Chain A
Amino acid sequence: MQSRLAVSVLFVLLAARAATQPDAQKAFAKLKSLVGSWKGYATSLPQPADRHSKLIQISLRVTSMGNALMHEMQKDLCNSTEKEKGEY
C-alpha cells in the first residue's frame, strides 16, 4: 500500500513539474527527444520540374550540458546516385 502511494506521489510530482514547465522548456525537451541520426527524403515545395527528392542525413545531438541541441544536415552521399553527387 505504501509503495503504491509512493508511486502515485511520484507521478503527481512529475505531472506537477511538467505542468509548471514553461512552454519553451517543454518545446525544448520535445525537440531534444529527437537526438540521433536520421535519414530521409527532402522535397521542396513547389517542386521544380527538373528536381527530384534528395536523400539527406540529419544528426541531432544534445550538447553544452543539455543546454543546446545541435542539428546538422547534409546530403546522404553514401546512398546518392552519381548524378546526385554531382549536383551537390
Chain B
Amino acid sequence: MKSRIALSLLFVLIAVTAFAADTAVAPAPSEAEKSFTTMKNLAGEWEGPATVAEMPEMSGGKMHISLRVTSRGHLLVHELQEAGTPFDATKYDHPVTMVYLDGDQLTLIHYCDAGNRPRMIGKLSPDGKTVEFELKDISGDPAVHMHHSAFTLIDANHHTEDWTFMMNDKLIHAHFDLTRKN
C-alpha cells in the first residue's frame, strides 16, 4: 500500500514538474532588446530623398541605405550612400554604422566619413515607433561629428531617418524619407 502511495506521489511530482516546465515564462525582453528588435525590422534596401534644413542646396538628393542583420543576429549594419554613385568609399561618402546591444544598452557606433566614431545610446519612444540615439562619447577628433540620430518606422515599407551633424558648433539636420526597395 505504502509503495503505491509513494508511486502515486512520484507521478504527481513528475506531472507538476512537467507542467511547470511547459508553463515557464521566458523573461520579458528589456527595453533595449525591444528597441533592437524594432531596429532589426528595418533590414533591407531603402531609397529616398534627403532634406537638409540648414542647407537647402543639399536637399533633394536621393539616398540609398542598406540595413542588414549579421553576426548571428547580434549586429545591425547600416550603410549610407548617395543613390547612383559608384561603390567606392574612398571617393564618395559611404559611412557605416553598427547597432548592437551592449548589456542593457542599445548602442550605435557611426564610422564617420569625417574619420571619428561617435557612440550613441538609443531608446524606443513610448509609441514604439521611433528609436532615438543620443551621443555618449566620441573616439577620434570631435571637431566635426555626427551628434544625434533617430529612426522612425512608419509601416513595413516606409521609414524616416534623422541625422544631426555638428559642424563648428553648428547643428545641421538631415532628414531621409525612405521607401523599401527589397
Contacts and interface: CB of A to CB of B under 8 A. Distances in A.
A64 B112 contact: yes
A67 B70 contact: no
Contacts of B93: 65
Given A68-B96, A68-B111, A70-B96, A63 B70 contact: no
A67 B111 CA distance: 8
A72 interface: yes
Nearest to A74: B70
A67 B94 CA distance: 10
B90 interface: yes
Secondary structure type dominating chain A contacts = strand
B33 interface: no
Contacts, number: 35
Interface residues of A, number: 10
A66 B112 CA distance: 10
A65 B89 CA distance: 5
A62 B115 CA distance: 13
B6 to A, nearest CB: 44
B132 interface: no
Looking at A63, A64, A67, which has the most chain B CB atoms within 10 Å of its CB?
A64
Contacts of A63: 79, 89, 94-96, 111
